[in-house]
Structures are given as structure tokens and as C-alpha cells.
Amino acid sequence: MFRERLAESAEAARACLIDALPSAGPMAEPMRYAVSGGKGLRGFLVLEGAAMLGVPASAARFPAAAVEAIHAYSLVHDDLPAMDDDDLRRGQPTLHRKWDEATAILAGDALQSLAFELVSEPETGPAEVRVALARSLAQAAGARGMVLGQALDIAAETAAAPLTLDEIIALQAGKTGALIRWSAAAGALLAGEDPEPLTRYGAALGLAFQIADDVLDVEGDASTLGKAVGKDAEAGKATFVSLLGLEPAKSRASELVQEAEDALKPYGKRADVLREAARFVIAREA
């Protein structure tokens, strides 16, 4: 039931995104390839948060598509030889393997630009809402958000000493947390409501999500995950698992899921789907 709902909103966000892609020219195919597959969790959070607060999907689908575009760009660049150097993504060859590095860099660049075209789409809402969404998405994606986390992640590979727990939390709050927090809070921005409870939910959920990603890198199965496993230890990545070990990392993720659920108290039963999403992120196998 939950998984069907996740798949449906992933499809809705992807359809909106695909509609906005160029239909011809050298970037058409690589961009479409980059947005294919994936769970669609970030777009789902936008659509569900919005639905919970009474915002129609016709407005929320643009920010949902926008965050999936930024996420897809981040994965294409994350896989490049200069970053994680991966060959498999979402069960397919990575974009730079299928085409080449220049195409992967440009497809990522174009997806990032497209995201801001999408959030500023008139159907999203009044101009103030669109500006608030665009500004906060830029902050979440940029040098104080996702890009910061990615830079810290790469720097940690060659750091002289292992990162502390607080440093790992800061790294993950950027690389994965920032876009997930934005996705969780976007519904409140669309509805003109206080984004604080949903932001707290997104912060706990985002960290739990990344811990699960790190656990899956150790315990997961490459064919189910659609990406290589065992890469983090090999590359000397700083993760909860590298610092604490598997079982303590899993316990921390469970505590965070509880924190995420607690943050939803103000919404009562209306937030049941988001509660299920919190449980899903650590139970998932892909």
C-alpha cells in the first residue's frame, strides 16, 4: 500500500519532469536517462506534505519534479570518476559510462537549471510562494547544503584523522539532509503554513535515510540496489557505519525514525502516510 503510493507519486513527479525536458537535441536523451528509475522519495515528500495541508497536486507537482531534477543531477555528478567513480546507477550504466564525462557534467548542469524553471512555474502558486521555494531550494542544493555535504564527503576520504560523530552528522545533514528537509517542508511553503514541524521531520528522516544508505553499502545486494556495494569502506568514506559499526548505526537510525514520527504530532492522523515513509526509509532494501 505504502509502496504503491510511493510509486504513484514518483510517477507523477517524473511525468512532470519528463514533460519539461528538451524533446530534441544533444541533451534530450542523456537528461531523460538521468531521471529514469529511482524511488522518487523526495518528490513523494513534496506531494504528500502538500496533500496533507490541502495543496492540490496540480500545484505541488512542479516543486516535486524540481527536487527530483536536482537529486538526479547530484547522482550523475556523484558517480563521476572525480567523485565516487561508479559504473552502475539505478540498475543501469552510469551516465558517463553510457555517454562520456562531458555529457554527464552537462546533463547534470542542465537538470539543475531546469529545477529552477520548474519551481517558478506559474501553476505552483503566487509569486511570493515561488520565490520562497526557489530561494530555499537554491540554499538546500548549494554550498551551504548538498554541495557542502558532498565536498565534506570527498575531503573526508583523505583526512588525516577519522571524522567525529558531530562532523559526520554535519556532512550528512548537507549531502542528503538538505534536499530531504526541503522536500518535507515544501508542502508547508506551498500552503503558507509554518514549515517548522515538517522541517524537523525532514531532518530526522534525512539522517535516518543516509544511515540506511550507508548500512546498505555494507549489507545490501548490488542487483537489488542497482548500484555497487562495498564502495564506502574501499574509498575511506566517513559514515555512521565506519565510526560506530553496523548495529549502533542501525539503532541510531531507529531512534531517528521515532524522532521523525514525533515531529508529526501537530498533524495528527493526517500525517499517517508521512509516518509510514519514516519507517520505510530504514526498512528498505533499495
Q: Under the rule (CB under 6 A), what is the footprint of ligand IPE? A: 38-39, 41, 71, 74-75, 78, 84, 90, 146, 150, 175-176, 210, 213, 227
- Map residues 40-79 to x or -, x wherever contact with Mg ion holds by CB under 5 A: --------------------------------------x-
What minimum distance in Å lies between the beta carbon of 88 and Mg ion? 11
Helix, strand, coil fractions of the chain, as percent rounded to 5: 75, 0, 25
Residues 6+ apart with CB under 8 A from 136: 182, 185, 189
What minimum distance in Å lies between the beta carbon of 109 and Mg ion? 18
Chain positions 186 to 225 lying near Mg ion, rule: CB under 5 A, are 213
What minimum distance in Å lies between the beta carbon of 227 and Mg ion? 8
Whether the CB-CB separation of 212 and 239 falls below 8 Å is answered with no
Q: Return the C-alpha cell found at 284.
A: 528498505
Total residues found in the chain within this entry: 286
Residue with Cβ nearer Mg ion (68 or 213): 213
What is the C-alpha R_g of the chain? Answer: 18
What minimum distance in Å lies between the beta carbon of 128 and ligand IPE? 29
- Map residues 81-120 to x or -, x wherever contact with Mg ion holds by CB under 5 A: ---x------------------------------------
Q: Return the C-alpha cell found at 20.
A: 519539461
Tell me the C-alpha distance between 127 and 226, whole Å.
39
Tell me the C-alpha distance between 193 and 62, whole Å.
19
Residue with Cβ nearer ligand IPE (149 or 195): 149
What minimum distance in Å lies between the beta carbon of 249 and ligand IPE? 14
